Amino acid sequence: KAGVTQTPRYLIKTRGQQVTLSCSPISGHRSVSWYQQTPGQGLQFLFEYFSETQRNKGNFPGRFSGRQFSNSRSEMNVSTLELGDSALYLCASSLQQLADNEQFFGPGTRLTVL
């Protein structure tokens, strides 16, 4: 079974721009979660989508948004980029909603904001 894939793997943007990241979950997985990983803050939860609906949201500003399509693929969008948005963005999928289920992580998208 193919793992979680994320595209692109690397991105360089400038302040004020917007960016869209993509995540394809493992086939059959209906839950997709997004995390931001930085050296100082560790891994922080952004949001979770299940059956095309946002089920949970972390403590991030409204510039961060996402959506999930009927095939469970998910996109994350960040508008008006700031320098502090530079991070590794990880997507994870699981069979059911987050809860106690094992999550399978993709390799991440490394975003650099200049």
Partner 1 sequence: AQSVAQPEDQVNVAEGNPLTVKCTYSVSGNPYLFWYVQYPNRGLQFLLKYITGDNLVKGSYGFEAEFNKSQTSFHLKKPSALVSDSALYFCAVRDTGYSTLTFGKGTMLLVSP
Residue 106 interacts with partner 1 (CB under 8 A): yes or no: yes
Q: Which of 18, 41, 80, 112 binds partner 1 (CB under 8 A)?
A: 41
Report in angstroms how near the CB of residue 109 gets to partner 1 at its nearest.
11
Cα 32 → chain centroid: 8
Shorter beta-carbon distance to partner 1: residue 19 or 90: 90
For residue 80, give the amino acid letter: T
Residue 58 interacts with partner 1 (CB under 8 A): yes or no: yes
Peptide bond into 61 cis (omega under 30): no
Shorter beta-carbon distance to partner 1: residue 19 or 23: 23
CB 113 within 8 A of CB 15: yes
Q: Is 61 helix (H, G, I), strand (E, B) or coil?
A: coil
- In angstroms, what is the C-alpha Rg of the chain? 13
Shorter beta-carbon distance to partner 1: residue 72 or 94: 94
Total number of residues shown for the chain: 114
Residues that bind partner 1 (CB under 8 A): 4, 33, 35, 41-45, 48, 55-56, 58, 90, 92, 97-100, 102-108
